[in-house]
Amino acid sequence: MTFPPDKYLQGKFNNERKSPPPEVWNRIQTGLDQRKSKRTWFRSAAAAAIILLLAATFTLWQVNKPSNTNPLISSGKTNVEETTVENSNSTRPTDTEKQIATNNIPNEVNTPDPIQSNQPNKKKQNTIQTDNEISEKITSTQTKEEIPLAVTLSKPDSLAGLVTLAEEPVVMPPQTGKKIYYSAAEVNARFLKKKDTSTPPSPEKNESGIQRILDIAYDLKFSESALGELRQYKNDILSIPGKKSQGKTN
């Protein structure tokens, strides 16, 4: 007897059936339920982890969030902003009305801000407001004759007064490609000499030393001061020898 060929075996075993015991299905069901619960647990754990991560990130971001959004470091913006500057000396209102035309300031760039160029109706008010009246005058004069000023922060002394920005930040042009935007308060604090405009300067401070010496000399000459009286007294004393000589002669 020889062993049958493969095709015979394939035909025989192809229809072979044998029922498995019933506990096999129970084991399959149990395994499926366990895997399902494991999958559910894993998904919920993953979701919780993601939520925790997001919450932690948000919290850290809130903690490390800078209080002042300026200076903004950005690229792609022009580094010049047009401003109108007025003198802040309240004691000389005539000077405030003379707005400084800073077009003559060297190193200035009059490139308009692209953001503001899109809003032509919006007035840039980088003005110094020492009191309400002056600010009203400033706004009125700005609407009539708007004198742009390119604030070059490399030469802050060229500006007589403080520079304040109403809404827009003043642009600091760094030498590298990045631009740093400063608010007006920061510009004043960092680069400009603050002057106490609350109290008007005394007239004595306005007079120079030479003038004061000349005034004293004038007073002495025309006896308009205590020294003048003293001088008169001295002259009276000095006139006595002449009288004595007259007496002797007499």
Partner 1 sequence: MKFTIYRASEQDMINGCLRGDRGAQKRLYDTYSPKMYALCNRYLKDPMQAQDALVTAFTRIFEKINQYSGQGSLEGWIKIIVIREALTIIRKNQHFRFEAELETIENLAGFQNESDPFELEYLLHLIQELPQGYRTIFNLYAIEGFSHKEIAEQLHISENTSKSQLSRARVFLQQLLLKHDNIQTTKRNDISTR
Q: Compute the least distance from the CB of residue 29 to partner 1, in Å.
A: 7
Region 141-170 residues binding partner 1, contact defined as CB under 8 A:
none
Q: How far apart are CA 244 and CA 250, in angstroms?
A: 9
Q: Tell me how far, at minimum, the Cβ of 27 lies from partner 1, in Å.
A: 5
Q: How far is the CB of 67 from partner 1 (least distance, A)?
A: 53
Q: To the nearest whole angstrom, how small is the minimum distance from the Cβ of residue 46 to partner 1?
A: 19
Contact with partner 1 (CB under 8 A) among 17, 194, 244, 248: 17
Angle at 80 between CA 74 and CA 82, to 5 degrees: 130
Question: Under DSSP, is residue 168 helix (H, G, I), strand (E, B) or coil?
Answer: coil
Among residues 2 and 208, whose Cβ is nearest to partner 1?
2
| d(C-alpha 145, C-alpha 10), whole Å | 104
Residue 130 contacts residue 90 (beta carbons within 8 Å): yes
**Residues binding partner 1: number (CB under 8 A):** 26
Task: Give the shortest CB-15-to-partner 1 separation in angstroms.
Answer: 8
To partner 1, the closest distance from the beta carbon of 49 in angstroms equals 24
Instruction: Give how far Cα 240 sits from Cα of 149, 232, 245, Å.
Output: 72, 13, 9
From 9-17, 109-117, 217-225, 233-241, span contacting partner 1 (CB under 8 A):
9-17
Closer to partner 1 at the Cβ: 14 or 75? Answer: 14
- If you ran DSSP here, which 8-state letter would residue 75 be given? S
- 10 lies in the site for partner 1, by CB under 8 A: yes
Looking at the Cβ atoms of 38 and 243, the one nearer to partner 1 is 38
Distance CA 11, CA 205 (A): 123
Encoded amino acid at 225, one letter: S
Q: Which of 19, 118, 175, 202 binds partner 1 (CB under 8 A)?
A: 19
Confirm if 124 and 147 have CB atoms less than 8 A apart.
Answer: no
* Residue 222 sits in the site that holds partner 1 (CB under 8 A): no
Residues 22-51 binding partner 1 (CB under 8 A) are 23-25, 27-29, 31-32, 35-36
Q: With binding defined as CB under 8 A, does residue 1 bind partner 1?
A: yes
Residue by residue, DSSP assigns 116-158 as: HHT-TTSPP-----SSHHHHHHHHHHHHHS---EE--TT-GGG
**DSSP per-residue letters across 8-22:** HHHHHHHT---PPPT
Chain positions contacting partner 1, by CB under 8 A: 1-4, 6, 8-10, 12-13, 16-21, 23-25, 27-29, 31-32, 35-36
